[in-house]
A and B are shown apart, each in its own frame.
Chain A
Amino acid sequence: MKEQNHYSSRVEALLETKNWDELSRAEKDIVLAEELTAEAYESYRCLIHVSKKMHLSAPRISGHVKENLLRQMQLRKSPAPKKAIWKDWFKLEVPLWQVSLASLAFIVLYISGVPTNLNNNASMAPANEYFQDQVDTVFYDKEQAPEDSSNQHVPQLNSSWQQTVPASSLPDSRLSTNSPKRTAYLAAEWPTTATALLPPTPALLNVENTIPLGLMEIQG
């Protein structure tokens, strides 16, 4: 048999509302069925009743708690206004010795005439004249290199987007026929009127960038 570990809601409700004498016959049966004797029932009721009374007679909360909370609420309601940074500049306190030193330095510089001389020289020289007494740079003409007519470094192209590539320069996997020359379409952009006149780009010259011959072969 399972051990009882709680009272039913019905008994709970009865405990709070009725004493033993006020219970009807049926209600008493319900209470007794839950292994609760009349004495225990009354004892529980008493405990609940007295502790409730005690609870209600607990000391009251101080009034200053509410004041503190309301003050806190006011603070939260009105956030601190933002200060203008430039206002603080006027409030800065500069030591007198620094001001004195700066003034003294200015006077000394003024009297020694460093800035004034520069100013005078600039005003005396005419703006549109330039004199150069010393030669500081000498230019020598370099001998021109002979013109390279062979153009060995830049291969000839049939057009800017179509190139005849020697079969020997292709990877082995692409040599599927005995043809000495193959025409491959390079994986470059379709030429426009502007790009057709331009020299071949490195990408255009790179054999690896070609589309596999097996797919795009035109000439065997």
Chain B
Amino acid sequence: MKFITKGDEQAFSVLYDRYAEKMHRYFYRMLWQEKQRAEDFTQELFLKIINKPHLYNPERTFSTWLFQVASNMVKNEYRRCSRQPEMTADLPLDLPLNNSSIFECSDRKFFKKELNAALARLSAEHRQCFVLRYLEEKSIKEISEILDCPEGTVKSRLYYALKKLAKSLEIFKPESYR
């Protein structure tokens, strides 16, 4: 970051190569899986690094700080669009009613599609915790720093996120789709 502050393009390039894909995936997952929007947000995030490098707090790990900024951007976007994903618990999935046919149909694509949909229907907080913990492989402590909430809250959100996902997809018997 010191080099970037001084305008070192090579340092920025290294930083970009290391984090751009990660951040793009995060935005893609969090912002309704829209590629263009995810790209715009990734660009905006790195623009912040270029234009306001002084905002980085060296006491924290860079990755945590970056995800914190990204998480705030996502929150702002949710607020701007007032379009948050709904809870899954009581929402029926668009599945065929015949259970036997589901079990026979070992269509992984269909399962993935439904998992995607179930993830998208999770509440913003639950989804953020799930994505950061299991997809970005952050520790509970890091997530609590990123989301600025206690570790207990993060654990609780993860617990409910997993439960909801499992409940949404129990009809598939997920253990057979690995």
Q: Which residues of A contact B (CB under 8 A)?
A: 4-7, 9, 12, 16, 39-40, 42-52, 54-56, 58-62, 65-66, 68-70, 72-74, 76-77
Are A43 and B174 in contact, CB atoms less than 8 angstroms apart?
Answer: yes
Give the one of A4, A5, A58, A65 with max B CB within 10 A.
A58
List the B residue with the shortest CB-CB distance to A59: B35
Q: How far does the alpha carbon of A106 sit from the alpha carbon of B65 in the complex, in Å? A: 72
Are B7 and A77 in contact, CB atoms less than 8 angstroms apart?
Answer: yes
Are A60 and B174 in contact, CB atoms less than 8 angstroms apart?
Answer: no
Number of B interface residues in the complex (CB < 8 A): 48
Query: Top 4 nearest A-B pairs by Cβ distance?
Result: A6-B155, A42-B175, A77-B7, A46-B174
Are B134 and A51 in contact, CB atoms less than 8 angstroms apart?
Answer: yes
Are A61 and B115 in contact, CB atoms less than 8 angstroms apart?
Answer: no
With A54-B112, A73-B12 known to touch, is A5 a contact of B20 (CB < 8 Å)? no
Are B9 and A74 in contact, CB atoms less than 8 angstroms apart?
Answer: yes
Are B112 and A59 in contact, CB atoms less than 8 angstroms apart?
Answer: no
Q: How far does the alpha carbon of A10 sit from the alpha carbon of B120 in the complex, in Å? A: 28
Chain A residue numbers with a CB within 8 Å of B176 are 46
Give the one of B21, B46, B134 with max A CB within 10 A.
B134
Within the complex, which residue of B50, B51, B159, B175 is in contact with A5, where a contact is CB–CB below 8 Å? B159
Q: How far does the alpha carbon of A211 sit from the alpha carbon of B43 in the complex, in Å? A: 79
Are A65 and B39 in contact, CB atoms less than 8 angstroms apart?
Answer: yes
Q: How many A-B residue pairs have CB under 8 A?
A: 113
Within the complex, which residue of A42, A54, A68, A69 is in contact with B12, where a contact is CB–CB below 8 Å? A69
| Mask of B83-95 contacts with A, CB within 8 angstroms, 1/0 | 0000000000000
> Looking at the complex, which of B23-31, B55-63, B99-107 is the stretch in contact with chain A?
B23-31
List the A residue with the shortest CB-CB distance to B20: A61
Given contacts A43-B175, A77-B9, 19 further A-B contacts (CB under 8 A): A6-B156, A6-B159, A12-B140, A12-B155, A16-B134, A47-B165, A47-B166, A50-B112, A55-B131, A58-B24, A61-B21, A61-B42, A66-B20, A69-B12, A69-B16, A69-B50, A72-B47, A72-B50, A76-B7
Q: How far does the alpha carbon of A16 sit from the alpha carbon of B162 in the complex, in Å? A: 13
Q: How far does the alpha carbon of A51 sit from the alpha carbon of B21 in the complex, in Å? A: 17
Are B112 and A73 in contact, CB atoms less than 8 angstroms apart?
Answer: no
